[in-house]
Amino acid sequence: MSPDTVTLALSKGRIFDETLPLLRAAGIEVLEDPQTSRKLILPTNRPDVRVVLVRATDVPTYVEHGGADLGVCGKDTLIEHDAAWGGAARAGLYRPLDLGIARCRMSVAVPADFDYARAVRQGARLRVATKYVAIAREFFASKGVHVDLIKLYGSMELAPLTGLADAIVDLVSTGNTLKANRLVEVERIMDISSQLVVRPTALKVQGARIRPIIDAFREAVRARG
Ligand code: PRT
Ligand code: MG
């Protein structure tokens, strides 16, 4: 990676869309639209700043290992990334700022006709399908509920409808997806928003370029309230 270019990793969709105004506040305009362009490396109005598009779950890996210098990803993604590497926050990822974007919550949901409270009271063993196994494991352990976790990579809502699981742990924002699948939210595990992540060595080498970006993001987040 060129020492005089700063590379920002974003995922397409809500994180890209909601990061654009923050970039604008830092004087950075992305020159191509990921909806219409097939490019994975997007130029900006600044010759020394570029954006790379990666899967949301790959953002921490790109930043940590030098494929990008900084990035934006959900707290959900960060917690699972840390857990995959032993649980403690990774030293290779500095987290200077909660951007307050791509907000949602991590919740437990069950079919409308499943008596979750009763199952918990009776000490039943629950089958829980989720993409977020570390968050789910920690949550149910803290409640003293026994669970069999079933790892899925998508469409969690389908699991209870097909008999694969009794419950799911998934992200909820409007609640429309749950409603459409006749699921109800029975626990709210945590609020989620996206964080800025930076590789500490990049900050050391490229501080003069990266620090003003962090400062502008912080100011924009503060101004937005
Ligand atoms: O989609 P892909 O498999 O590539 O990766 P991803 O799902 O990790 O990426 P993306 O872009 O969908 O989400 C990126 C980040 O946005 C997540 O890591 C969250 O931090 C955040 N975010 C905010 C959300 C939502 N809101 C959200 N609603 N991520 C996913 N959803 C999904 C949710 O999983 C469920 O399927 O939207 C559905 C529920 O939405 P409602 O509005 O119907 O409740
Ligand atoms: Mg998604």
Q: What is the pLDDT of residues 138-162, one digit of tens each?
A: 999 999 999 999 999 999 999 999 9
From the list 7, 126, 140, 133, the residue with the least C-alpha distance to 68 is 7
Distance 193 CA to ligand 2 centre (A): 14
Q: Please name the helix (run of DSSP H) or strand (run of DSSP E) that holds residue 171, with its range, or none.
A: strand 167-172
Looking at ligand 1, which residue's alpha carbon is closest to its atom 14?
56
Ligand nearest to the CA of 170: 1
Neighbour-count burial of 154, counting CB atoms closer than 10 A to its CB (0-12 exposed, 13-18 middle, 19+ buried): exposed
Burial of 49 (0-12, 13-18, 19+ CB in 10 A): buried
ipTM computed for the complex? 0.96
Is residue 160 within 6 Å of ligand 1 at its C-beta? no
pLDDT of residue 225: 83
CB atoms within 10 A of CB 221: 17
Q: What is the pTM of this model?
A: 0.96
Q: Would you state the pLDDT for residue 123? A: 96
For residue 2, name the pLDDT band (cuts at 50, 70, 90): low
Ligand 1 center to residue 204 CA distance, Å? 33
Ligand 1 pocket, residue 104 CB under 6 Å:
yes
Query: Strand, coil or helix: what is 35?
Result: coil
Q: Which residues touch 20 (CB under 8 Å, ≥6 apart)?
A: 30
Q: What pLDDT sits at residue 89? A: 83
The pLDDT of residue 1 is: 54
The predicted-structure confidence for 114-136, as pLDDT tens digits, reads as follows: 999 999 999 999 999 999 999 99
Give the residue whose CA is nearest to atom 26 of ligand 1.
Answer: 104
pLDDT at 213 (0 to 100): 98
